[in-house]
């Protein structure tokens, strides 16, 4: 919603990235071309590979090692194809690296688990027994919020000022947040909501994302659960807010520490370049080389230029400012400059060299490159044609009998409440008994269906009946006349020729054959890479490695 320096940077810093302890064991477990896989790599891969797999160590270790070698072969091939240097890969590497460094820096700027006292939890619980109807005005800087306050004091309606100053889509209409409880808004707005006099225009208040005016029109009691039911969630909320407060304070110190200064025309220059009437919006800004070099912000050892700003605006993962408001553009410049300072700070602290950062980051980038190589191999396989599908189905059709005839009960009910009542009775009797218990006037039909069936009402029912046993009900189906409810009484099954197979079964068979062909192509491809590259496996160095591999456990 509201985007300025500290909120946006803190949001990036708070991106959840697992920084579990990583082994630095550099003993090799395999060599693939110029690449060496180590015990540390194996442990990191094992922590991801363990999920959902329950295998004994003697089976799991060699399987995982083979999978790692296969992936490394594909990475070698991807490098040979240049997939690691494409524009998309460079963009992904940059975004992933920045995210990892910002997350690592956040772990140092703010404690992961700040303490929360019993008194704090009980106080917040009491505060949340009242809710306040809140209305706000937002502005990105102090001068603009002062102008907004002057307009209100001169008689302009609060709601009109909120709409004009908040920017399109940044606040609800009229700045109306509705009823809020303590802990739901950023400070100091949260405290103002709780303590400010009814009807009073409070502020300007400076929060992490900008400046605010606040008005509370009324307060009413709020329903709450017993304290013990709320305790855990409230404690977690306080912990999150404490960490965010510490993080924001740490981020706020970065600018002055690196002597950040914004050019006087930072907002105006971007506005001039991005005004739709001149350039057609973000995507059409084509500044000259001299304009791209224009400095919008400076800090120790670096600068943020117009070219940097336009490059950032082209990145899909970065929030865009409100291009119609010069103060918002200026604050966006500050945000991007502080983000660059945070990245400089992270590298100055050598966080990019920490195994807990470098290892998972390398995995993420490799996964992206692997995905591209997989797709390159897979797209070379064409879907099976009709003749291949028919030839595959005929020899196995006796192993997969399908419903040829079904005796069913069914009803169509237009009344939603009655249809729901009948559905709830599933398993409590026959469809006839349940339907007549709800409404004796409901017509229950009994019919024998044969497949394939040319009646459009039943043409697609074969697949649903195939999944039912005698006595079971099918899921309700919406028809033009209402909800159709169906119960299978009994069925007869037998082999089905290809021409009589339901379309969904044909599609499933085609998908399975395509997947098998792709896997065969991938296997043949990796076999050829193995013969060309001659990987060397050193499984003896895995002796004594714990299994399952646990985060932070070194051999």
| Residue-by-residue DSSP string for 139-199 | ESSHHHHHHHHHHHHTT--HHHHHHHHH-TTTS-GGGEEEEEETTSS-TTHHHHHHHSPTT
- At residue 119 the predicted structure's pLDDT band, cuts being 50, 70 and 90, is very high
Residue 192: CB partners within 8 Å, gap ≥ 6?
202, 203, 205, 214, 216
Picking from 3-12, 35-44, 75-84, 202-211, which range would have the lowest pLDDT averaged per residue?
3-12
Summarised one tens digit per residue, pLDDT across range 78-112 is 999 898 899 999 999 999 999 999 999 999 998 87
- At residue 6 the predicted structure's pLDDT band, cuts being 50, 70 and 90, is very low
Mean pLDDT for the stretch of residues 264-274: 88
DSSP secondary structure code for residue 453 in this structure: -
- Phi/psi for 546 (5° steps) reads -65, 145
Mean pLDDT for the stretch of residues 508-533: 93
Picking from 63-72, 284-293, 346-355, which range would have the lowest pLDDT averaged per residue?
284-293
Neighbour count for residue 26 (Cβ, 10 Å)? 10
DSSP secondary structure code for residue 50 in this structure: T
pLDDT value of residue 50 = 66
The fraction of the chain above a pLDDT of 90, given in percent, is 60
Whether the pLDDT of residue 260 is over 50: the answer is yes
pLDDT value of residue 430 = 93
- At residue 270 the predicted structure's pLDDT band, cuts being 50, 70 and 90, is confident
Among residues 365, 491, 456, 475, the alpha carbon closest in space to that of 410 is found at 475
- At residue 21 the predicted structure's pLDDT band, cuts being 50, 70 and 90, is very low
Whether the pLDDT of residue 9 is over 50: the answer is no
- Strands 402-413 and 482-494, by their bridges, are antiparallel
- Mean of the per-residue pLDDT values of the chain: 87
End-to-end CA distance of the chain: 47
Q: Facing residues of 220 across strands? A: 131
- At residue 255 the predicted structure's pLDDT band, cuts being 50, 70 and 90, is very high
Summarised one tens digit per residue, pLDDT across range 494-510 is 998 888 888 888 899 99
| Residue-by-residue DSSP string for 383-412 | PP-HHHHHHHHGGGGGGS-EEEEEEEEEEE
- At residue 60 the predicted structure's pLDDT band, cuts being 50, 70 and 90, is confident
DSSP secondary structure code for residue 26 in this structure: -
Whether the pLDDT of residue 13 is over 80: the answer is no
User: Helix or strand or coil: residue 481?
Assistant: coil
Looking at the chain, which residues constitute the CATH 3.10.50.40 domain(s)?
Answer: 129-223, 401-494
Environment class of 276 (CB within 10 Å of its CB; exposed 0-12, middle 13-18, buried 19+)? exposed
Alpha helices of 396-552 — where are they, by DSSP H?
Answer: 416-424, 431-438, 461-466, 503-533
Kindly state the tokens that stand for 421.
């009542």
Burial 532-552 (b: 16+ CB within 10 A, else e): ebebebbeebbeebebebeee
| Nearest-angstrom CA–CA distance, 405 and 176 | 61
Whether the pLDDT of residue 552 is over 90: the answer is no
pLDDT value of residue 325 = 77
Asked: is 401-494 a CATH 3.10.50.40 domain? The reply is: yes
Asked: is 129-223 a CATH 3.10.50.40 domain? The reply is: yes
pLDDT value of residue 58 = 81
The crossing angle, in degrees rounded to 10, of helices 158-166 and 142-153 is 160
Q: Which residue has the tokens 């005839």?
A: 405
pLDDT value of residue 124 = 95
- At residue 8 the predicted structure's pLDDT band, cuts being 50, 70 and 90, is very low
Kindly state the tokens that stand for 497.
């020729």
Are 305 and 295 in contact by the 8 Å Cβ rule? The answer is yes
pLDDT value of residue 17 = 29
Q: Which residue has the tokens 């809710």?
A: 131
Among residues 394, 396, 400, 496, the alpha carbon closest in space to that of 452 is found at 496
pLDDT value of residue 169 = 62
Picking from 9-23, 188-202, 247-261, 532-546, which range would have the lowest pLDDT averaged per residue?
9-23
The 261-262 sheet, strands edge to edge? 261-262, 295-299, 302-305
Cis peptide before 125 (omega within 30 of 0): no
| Nearest-angstrom CA–CA distance, 173 and 96 | 36
| Nearest-angstrom CA–CA distance, 361 and 48 | 13
- Is pTM beyond 0.85? Reply is no
pLDDT value of residue 276 = 56
Summarised one tens digit per residue, pLDDT across range 452-506 is 888 888 877 888 898 899 999 999 999 989 999 999 999 999 998 888 888 888 8
Environment class of 400 (CB within 10 Å of its CB; exposed 0-12, middle 13-18, buried 19+)? middle
Neighbour count for residue 48 (Cβ, 10 Å)? 12
| Nearest-angstrom CA–CA distance, 412 and 486 | 9
Kindly state the tokens that stand for 62.
């060699």
Q: How far is CA 516 from the centre of its chain?
A: 30
pLDDT value of residue 167 = 58
pLDDT value of residue 305 = 95
Are 299 and 337 in contact by the 8 Å Cβ rule? The answer is yes
Whether the pLDDT of residue 187 is over 60: the answer is yes
Whether the pLDDT of residue 168 is over 60: the answer is no
Kindly state the tokens that stand for 40.
């540390």
Summarised one tens digit per residue, pLDDT across range 387-443 is 999 999 999 988 888 898 999 999 999 999 999 999 999 888 899 999 999 999 999
Neighbour count for residue 247 (Cβ, 10 Å)? 23
Rg, Å, the chain Cα set: 32
| Nearest-angstrom CA–CA distance, 435 and 423 | 9
Task: Provide the greatest CA pair distance for the chain.
Answer: 86
Q: Which residue has the higher pLDDT, 452 or 534?
A: 534
| Nearest-angstrom CA–CA distance, 173 and 163 | 6
Residue 385: CB partners within 8 Å, gap ≥ 6?
none
User: Helix or strand or coil: residue 357?
Assistant: helix
Mean pLDDT for the stretch of residues 339-347: 95
Angle at 362 between CA 356 and CA 363, to 5 degrees: 90
Picking from 12-26, 170-184, 338-352, 428-442, which range would have the lowest pLDDT averaged per residue?
12-26
Kindly state the tokens that stand for 32.
């693939």
Kindly state the tokens that stand for 381.
């396989």
H/E element, 490 = strand 482-494
Report CA-CA distances (Å) from 520 to 72, 323, 381, 526.
18, 52, 10, 10
């Amino acid at each position: 919603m509201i985007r300025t320096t500290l909120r946006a940077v803190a949001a990036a810093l708070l991106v959840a990235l697992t920084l579990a302890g990583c082994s630095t064991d550099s003993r090799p477990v395999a060599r693939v071309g110029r690449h060496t896989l180590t015990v540390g790599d194996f442990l990191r891969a094992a922590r991801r590979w363990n999920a959902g797999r329950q295998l004994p160590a003697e089976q799991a270790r060699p399987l995982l090692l083979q999978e790692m070698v296969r992936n490394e072969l594909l990475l070698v091939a991807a490098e040979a194809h240049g997939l690691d240097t494409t524009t998309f890969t460079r963009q992904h590497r940059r975004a992933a690296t920045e995210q990892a460094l910002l997350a690592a820096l956040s772990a140092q700027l703010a404690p992961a688990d700040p303490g929360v006292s019993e008194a704090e939890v009980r106080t917040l619980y009491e505060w949340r027994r009242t809710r306040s109807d809140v209305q706000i005005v937002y502005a990105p800087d102090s001068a603009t919020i002062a102008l907004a306050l002057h307009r209100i004091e001169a008689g302009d309606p609060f709601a009109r000022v909120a709409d004009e100053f908040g920017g399109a889509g940044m606040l609800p209409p009229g700045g109306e947040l509705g009823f809020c409880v303590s802990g739901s808004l950023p400070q100091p707005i949260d405290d103002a909501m709780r303590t400010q006099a009814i009807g009073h225009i409070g502020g300007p208040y400076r929060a992490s994302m900008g400046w605010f005016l606040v008005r509370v029109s009324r307060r009413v009691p709020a329903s709450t659960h017993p304290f013990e039911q709320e305790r855990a969630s409230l404690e977690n909320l306080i912990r999150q807010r404490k960490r965010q407060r510490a993080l924001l304070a740490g981020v706020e110190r970065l600018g002055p520490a690196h002597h950040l200064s914004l050019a006087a025309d930072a907002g105006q220059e971007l506005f001039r370049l991005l005004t739709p009437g001149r350039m057609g919006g973000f995507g059409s800004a084509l500044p000259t080389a001299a304009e791209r070099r224009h400095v919008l912000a400076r800090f120790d050892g670096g600068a943020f230029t117009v070219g940097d700003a336009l490059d950032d605006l082209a990145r899909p993962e970065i929030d865009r400012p409100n291009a119609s408001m010069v103060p918002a553009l200026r604050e966006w410049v500050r945000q991007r400059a502080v983000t660059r300072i945070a990245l400089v700070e992270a590298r100055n602290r050598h966080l990019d060299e920490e195994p807990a950062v470098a290892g998972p980051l390398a995995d993420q980038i490799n996964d992206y490159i692997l995905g591209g190589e997989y797709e390159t191999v897979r797209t070379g396989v064409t879907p099976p044609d009709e003749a291949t599908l028919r030839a595959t189905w005929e020899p196995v059709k006796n192993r997969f009998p399908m419903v040829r005839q079904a005796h069913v009960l069914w009803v169509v009910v237009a009344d939603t409440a009655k249809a729901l009542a009948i559905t709830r009775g599933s398993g409590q009797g026959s469809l006839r008994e349940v339907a007549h218990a709800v409404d004796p006037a409901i017509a229950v039909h009994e019919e024998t269906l044969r497949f394939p069936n040319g009646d459009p009402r039943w043409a697609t029912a074969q697949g649903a009946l195939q999944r039912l046993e005698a006595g079971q009900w099918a899921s309700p189906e919406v028809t033009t006349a209402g909800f159709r409810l169906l119960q299978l009484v009994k069925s007869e099954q037998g082999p089905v020729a290809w021409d009589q197979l339901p379309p969904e079964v044909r599609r499933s068979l085609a998908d399975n054959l395509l997947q098998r062909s792709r896997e065969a192509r991938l296997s043949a491809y990796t076999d050829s890479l193995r013969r060309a590259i001659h990987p060397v496996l050193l499984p003896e160095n895995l002796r004594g490695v714990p299994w399952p591999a646990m985060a932070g456990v070194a051999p």
